[in-house]
Amino acid sequence: MEQVFAVEQRRPAGRIAADPTTDPDIPLPRATLHSMQMRLVAMLITIGTAMSSLDAQMIVVPRAHDVIPVKGSTVLSLSADDIAHTVEKVAKSMGARLGKSPRGNTVVSIRVPTIKLDENCIYPIINGKTGGHLQTFASWQMGLLHGREEQRNARPSGDVLLELSIQPAEGGRTRFEFWSNCVADTELGRVLANSTGKFERAFLNQLAPGLNLDTWTTAA
């Protein structure tokens, strides 16, 4: 008598049910494929938007920032002539020059090489998009030294300008006012810059040693 044996087909050990999204041998349903394509497109759009935003932030638009002069005023118990004489004496001792402003006031100025200018002035060129300072006078000067020949040969500098108003007041006293800022060479040419107040304080401390400058001086 002939025997019939049933053959049971079994999956290989460890094999799990086929997943059309992970098994390359099984074609994806059209709806699933479309969904994956849409997710991929959305991801690419998100990445593109983020890259565009990053590129926009990295664009540097240099411009000169607004200048706020260091200024102050007080009444001194000295005659205007005595103060004018002292101004000349102090300016000479500090190696400063004397001149006149368009308003007829005395201007005390001192020229400083760019490489040393950061002590007296604030580099005035900022990123017009972010408002942040791009560099310092020293770093700009170092950049020139590694630039083209005409840049390496340049000798940029800056001037601290201290304008003084000396007006007689009652009782032989004098109303004394001052304004100061800087004008300096930069990547955008020679422009106005804010002062740190260092030169002004050194000058005024010699002019009127007894004054408390913090009570009548406004720094930029």
Verify that 24 and 66 share a domain, yes or no. Answer: no
Tokens of 170: 């009652």
Lowest mean pLDDT, pick from 25-34, 60-69, 116-125, 170-179: 25-34
Has residue 3 been placed in a domain?
no
Please state the domain count of the chain. Answer: 2
Verify that 52 and 121 share a domain, yes or no. Answer: no
Verify that 152 and 103 share a domain, yes or no. Answer: yes
Q: What is the predicted pLDDT for the residue at 47?
A: 63
Verify that 102 and 164 share a domain, yes or no. Answer: yes
Residue 57, amino acid: Q
Q: What is the predicted pLDDT for the residue at 4?
A: 47
Domain encompassing residue 179: 62-218
Has residue 100 been placed in a domain?
yes
Most confident of 27-36, 68-77, 80-89, 152-161: 80-89
* pLDDT tens track for 87-120: 999 999 999 999 999 999 999 999 999 999 999 9
Which residues have C-beta within 8 Å of that of residue 111, sequence separation ≥ 6? Answer: 97, 157, 158, 159
The C-alpha atoms of residue 111 and residue 161 are separated, in whole angstroms, by 9
Has residue 43 been placed in a domain?
yes
> Considering only CA atoms, which of 158, 150, 213, 168 is closest in space to residue 189?
158
Has residue 1 been placed in a domain?
no
User: What b/e string do you get for 175-191 counting C-beta neighbours within 10 Å, with b at 16 or more?
Assistant: ebbbbbbbbbbbeeeeb
Verify that 49 and 139 share a domain, yes or no. Answer: no
Q: Tell me which of 58 and 171 has the higher pLDDT.
A: 171
217 touches 200 (CB < 8 A):
yes
Has residue 95 been placed in a domain?
yes
Verify that 55 and 70 share a domain, yes or no. Answer: no
* pLDDT tens track for 172-192: 899 999 999 999 999 889 999
Q: What is the predicted pLDDT for the residue at 5?
A: 44
* pLDDT tens track for 124-153: 998 877 777 778 999 888 888 776 665 666
